[in-house]
Amino acid sequence: MSQPTVPLLDRDTAPSDVHVELDQIQAAFGTVPAMFRAVANSPAALRAMWAGFGAYGGGALGPALGEQIAVAVANRNACAYCLAAHTALGRKAGLDSEALAAAQVGESAEPKTAALLEFALTLVEERGQVDPDAVQSLRDLGWSDEQIVETIGQVALNLFTNYVNVALGVPVDFPAVPFRGA
């Protein structure tokens, strides 16, 4: 395993202005995962990331769908860290192994969910340049504008975490999950 390219800070070595966030992360996970320890090098980035997770955790999509989106984006971006972490979090949110494996490639047994996951992956592939018909297709399936906008936000947050983990070589501290091809 290679070394991360930034130090993995803990409460004793992190800037004092992120101690509140690190304490909240510790309380939520029972530990401070390596990703947050890497991001703690930037108090602004840690606050933004943690606030984003908090906001979407109580959002309109719910935790299970949020984890399916995260797994799909992580698989597409070859982020082993996020794939492992969000698979574990997806299990905690009630998803089984089959649903999580399907989500990796933007699939679901539920057609409405599959359409939203496909949209999320199109956002990644096309860098947000989606056809307006794609948005309307989601509305036609019953997705609200709130849920569509939240999907875009969750994709963006997951791109942020994918980029942090891949670019900085953050070691995976969750059970590994194999990538799946599309």
Give residue 33's domain range. Answer: 17-57
Both tokens of residue 175?
């059970």
Question: Looking at the structure, do residues 115 and 26 belong to the same domain, yes or no?
Answer: no
CB within 8 Å of 8: residues ≥ 6 apart = 34, 37, 38, 170, 171
- Domain finish residue from 5, 29, 57: 57
Rounded to the nearest integer, the mean pLDDT of the chain is: 95
Query: How many domains in the chain?
Result: 2
pLDDT of 122? 97
pLDDT digit string (tens) for 116-128? 999 999 999 999 8
Task: Please name which of 122, 154, 140 lies closest in space to residue 58, comparing C-alpha atoms.
Answer: 154
Question: Looking at the structure, do residues 27 and 70 belong to the same domain, yes or no?
Answer: no
pLDDT digit string (tens) for 27-83? 999 999 999 999 999 999 999 999 999 999 899 999 999 999 999 999 999 999 999
Cα dist. 143→82, 115, 139, 140, 151 in Å? 26, 10, 5, 7, 10
Question: Looking at the structure, do residues 106 and 125 belong to the same domain, yes or no?
Answer: yes
pLDDT of 119? 98
